[in-house]
Amino acid sequence: MNQVIYIMGVSGCGKSTIGNLLSEALKIPFFDGDDFHPEANVAKMSKGIPLNDEDRFGWLQTLNELGKKQVENNSCVIVCSGLKQMYRDILSKGIESKSMWVYLSGSFNQIEERVNKRSGHFMSSALLQSQFDTLEEPINALQLDISLKPEEIVKKIVKELDMKSEFGLFGLGVMGKSLSRNLAQKGFNISIFNREVKGSEENIAIDFKNAHSELEKSQPFSNVEAFVNSLQIPRRIMLMVNAGKITDMVIDDLIPYLSDGDILIDGGNSNYLKTKERYDYLKSKNINFIGVGVSGGEEGALKGPSIMPGGNKETYELVKPYLEGIAAKDTNGLPCCTYVGEEGSGHFVKMVHNGIEYVEMQLLAEVYTIFNTMGRNPDEIANILESWKSDVDSYLLGITVDILRKKDGDDWLVNKIVDKAGNKGTGNWTTIATAQLGAPSTLIASALFARYTSFYKEERCNANEKFGISPSELNLNSDDVLNAYQFGRIINHYQGLKLISEAGKAYSWTLNLSEIARIWTNGCIIKSDFAEALIPVLKEDDNILTNPSIISQLKELKPSINKVVAECILRELPVACLSESVNFLNAYTTSNSSANIIQAQRDYFGAHTYQRIDDLSGDFHHTNWN
């Protein structure tokens, strides 16, 4: 990757000498910032008047433009005192991740002595002191002591550039391996790490590197310190480890070797509240933290996942080229990765993605059970679902078709799979969040509880005998089932997006739901044609149920879902998400609900008070009910 190497430090630290030597060593252009001052600044300086911030802004912007232009074709060296962070922010604006900072540091006495030795140069102690007073030391620079010989300094910079990787991947599980290969295929120089456990996990990183030609230039490690030291500063390390306690343990293992300004990226399915805690914890240690939701499974991670990053926007800019570089692309060729928002918002959005995923899976399972009860075999069901692709295509629909067609001996494999659905916790967290935020994502809860109910296999079998409930022949046509499925999916997406929108308000995250739908159009497990259709809808309103086209679709689909759910209930076939979706819309569209009774009951036993429809002041009333 092309880089702008900014060499900074107080006047007299030797920036120009180092810059010139470095540009010769690397055969890249050299620019001395002092040559780019506007006339007004030159006039001021020649009168001995120091420049103020305002004088500097235009000049810094010119240097930033120069860097931006140069980096399009080649790396370059720009020398500029860059004493304040604010100045450096201007210099690297828009090229944050492509800016490398070299800070030449020395003590006041060292520099004073050195400057005054130079023939024709004299700097007053007061002037030098004012430089030191202004200096805000950079936290993410390669700091080099000016007492070293210039050749040695240049050697160190070259070594840093040559030998050091730009990105580190920690944890070579299924996802970590695929992401490493994806990064390497995109041309990034990476270091990869996996721990060494004698007897069970040996030589993982080196064997993995050797097994894949694209990893030829990557550096494999099993020692944390060596891994960290192999990375360019600021270090960018993506953690691909099991979410939970392991993430904290790994962070604590890394901290002793990290420097101020380094960046940790958590790519696991971490709880968004933990992400905020980790962000604060690492901030107290001057380490940046980005919580990143990654969806797409093993294949997505390799070919292009959907990536949902959250945290500090400036930190995101420093990792953007890597994350956006490896992400899937949408229909316009844009990366399915966008800065989601502050704190744990990236992991929150990924969590809700998984909640929506649970419902999409459950709806397909319900469709399967309906057709199965109607006597269709898996191949026939696959054919029906295949024919739906033109109306409701999605990744999950596609894989369900493949699953239904898979044979195992004379039978279909699905017929041999135990009907107990597992989970790793993200559906559980989404259901907790939905309750905590008071945003009723009832389908996600239903899908989760359907999995939990499935787990009571033994009890279900016993109850089946005792209650004698068994679904009988259903009288439905496949178009009605398709319509019901589509209806359920619309309510699912409404509820999931509403939950994200409510979280945005509760946590003061600035979220763009249309962008979130866009990054769900490719790479992720819930990618679908519907996600694509939601992009313009969400530009108008976060609530998709206010959209005229969605309203008319639901109205059209409603008779079918009424019929399908009613028939399933009459024939005693459980369809948790389909029935919840229609129940939810019935409740959502009720202007006068039964909640008046709840309020009266609350007031009766607990004097919780209620509001009256004939009192527009909104005052609360209490009645002595008996």
Give me the active site residues, please: 350, 357
Place of tokens 């006039």: 43
The secondary structure element, H or E, covering residue 260 is: none
- Closest distance between ligand 6PG and the C-beta of residue 290, in Å? 18
Per CB under 6 A, 297 contacts ligand 6PG:
yes
- Closest distance between ligand 6PG and the C-beta of residue 478, in Å? 28
Site string for ligand 6PG, 423-462 (x = CB under 6 A): xx-xx-----------------------------------
Q: How many residues bind ligand 6PG (CB under 6 A)?
A: 13
Q: Which of residues 86-115 bind ligand 6PG (CB under 6 A)?
A: none
| Residues contacting residue 439 through CB under 8 Å, at least 6 positions apart | 495, 498, 499, 502, 503
Q: d(Cα 509, Cα 63) in Å, to the nearest integer?
A: 33
- Closest distance between ligand 6PG and the C-beta of residue 55, in Å? 51
- Closest distance between ligand 6PG and the C-beta of residue 295, in Å? 3
Please check whether residue 365 is in contact with residue 380, taking contact to mean a CB–CB distance below 8 angstroms: no
Q: d(Cα 611, Cα 606) in Å, to the nearest integer?
A: 15
Residue 437 to residues 48, 217, 442, 498: CA-CA distances in angstroms?
A: 61, 47, 13, 11
| Residues contacting residue 525 through CB under 8 Å, at least 6 positions apart | 295, 296, 297, 300, 353, 354, 357, 395, 396
CA 38 to chain centroid, in Å, comes to 42
Question: What does DSSP say about strands 236-239 and 167-170: parallel, antiparallel, or unpaired?
Answer: parallel
Q: Which of residues 46-65 bind ligand 6PG (CB under 6 A)?
A: none
- For Cα atoms 251, 253, 255, give the angle at the middle one, nearest 5 degrees: 65
- Closest distance between ligand 6PG and the C-beta of residue 451, in Å? 8
CA 451 to chain centroid, in Å, comes to 26
For ligand 6PG, give the closer residue by CB, 446 or 547.
Answer: 446
For ligand 6PG, give the closer residue by CB, 360 or 502.
Answer: 360
For ligand 6PG, give the closer residue by CB, 269 or 338.
Answer: 269
Q: d(Cα 121, Cα 116) in Å, to the nearest integer?
A: 6
Please check whether residue 441 is in contact with residue 495, taking contact to mean a CB–CB distance below 8 angstroms: yes
Binding residue for ligand 6PG, selected from 166, 262, 330, 357, defined by CB under 6 A: 357
Per CB under 6 A, 296 contacts ligand 6PG:
yes
For ligand 6PG, give the closer residue by CB, 452 or 456.
Answer: 452
Per CB under 6 A, 524 contacts ligand 6PG:
yes
Binding residue for ligand 6PG, selected from 146, 250, 323, 525, defined by CB under 6 A: 525
Range in contact with ligand 6PG (rule: CB under 6 A) among 142-150, 157-165, 200-208, 291-299? 291-299
Question: What does DSSP say about strands 288-295 and 263-266: parallel, antiparallel, or unpaired?
Answer: parallel
- Closest distance between ligand 6PG and the C-beta of residue 515, in Å? 18
For ligand 6PG, give the closer residue by CB, 356 or 573.
Answer: 356
Binding residue for ligand 6PG, selected from 178, 222, 269, 275, defined by CB under 6 A: 269
Range in contact with ligand 6PG (rule: CB under 6 A) among 40-48, 64-72, 394-402, 422-430? 422-430
Q: d(Cα 291, Cα 247) in Å, to the nearest integer?
A: 11
Q: Which of 250, 327, 333 is nearest to 292 (CA)?
A: 327
Per CB under 6 A, 528 contacts ligand 6PG:
no
End-to-end CA distance of the chain: 79
Q: Which of residues 225-244 bind ligand 6PG (CB under 6 A)?
A: none
- Closest distance between ligand 6PG and the C-beta of residue 535, in Å? 19
Residue nearest to ligand 6PG (CB): 295
Count other Cβ atoms within 10 Å, centred on residue 463.
12
Contact set with ligand 6PG (CB under 6 A): 269, 295-297, 354, 357, 422-424, 426-427, 524-525
